[in-house]
Amino acid sequence: MHLHLLRRGSLNLRTRNGAVRHIDRPSLIFLPRTQDHRLEAGETPGAELVCARLTFTGPEADLLLLGLPELLIIPLDAPTGFGPVVERLFDEAFTPAFGHGAAVDLIAELLLVMLLRHCMTEGLTEGGLLAGLADSKLARALVVMHGRPAEDLSIEQLAGIAGMSRSNFAAAFKHRIGTSPGDYLTTLRLALAQQALLQGKPLKTVAPLVGYRSATALARVFQRQFGCGPRDWLAQQQRSAEAGDT
């Protein structure tokens, strides 16, 4: 993902579809998913800009970013609370003091958390984990799903945790998050399995950790979801990593 902060001046943002956005006020520009784009100087000279490329990894990464808009531009003079954090980031970015790099990374992480919260509270997500967490009832069920993915969690149990009837919970979950509770839990479990495989854990050890009784059961679901078995998938990841290192 890419994060651009314009503190002064103006610029033109050209995205992959050829569209051009003119930005002439201090703004936060957020592109949650990798896409080709270009920043061009605007009419006002002396633009002050900080750019960051952020990598968000972990089993929940795709679920968290799902539903975010392709492009988000937030004026820094809006009452969002971003202003003081952005000012601190600019100070650290252009001051070669002790711990400069670590400070910039930490402030960028804080800014990202604030940005994701802003997307939740302002209803800017169209689905995914953030949209679900914005609903207090669904959030209770999601916390349990992410905290105890190996448990045999039925829709009835999750509905009870959310304080809703089974039918209302299933409908609200599908509407807010964009998938059924069962499919969401499967996606989460497989994401956790992928992370564990990348860490070198054997399939027979991974299976019970993510809610499957055997390596065969996990491999069957894995094949259905990704079109290949866990070992073939892991080999593909290793080849890609080796190609990236050359």
| Ordered domains of the chain (ranges, CATH) | 2-121 (no CATH), 130-245 (1.10.10.60)
What's the pLDDT score for residue 168?
Answer: 96
What's the pLDDT score for residue 219?
Answer: 94
What's the pLDDT score for residue 61?
Answer: 67
- Per the DSSP assignment, residues forming a β-bridge with 29 are 4, 73
Average pLDDT per block of 10 residues along the chain, 246 residues long: 86 82 88 79 78 73 73 81 84 82 86 83 78 90 93 94 96 91 92 91 93 94 91 86 64
What's the pLDDT score for residue 62?
Answer: 67
Measured CA to CA in angstroms, residue 111 lies from 44, 89, 216 at distances of 26, 9, 43
What's the pLDDT score for residue 31?
Answer: 86
What's the pLDDT score for residue 245?
Answer: 56
What's the pLDDT score for residue 224?
Answer: 92
Taking the C-alpha atoms of residue 187 and residue 233, their distance in angstroms, rounded to an integer, is 16
What's the pLDDT score for residue 57?
Answer: 67
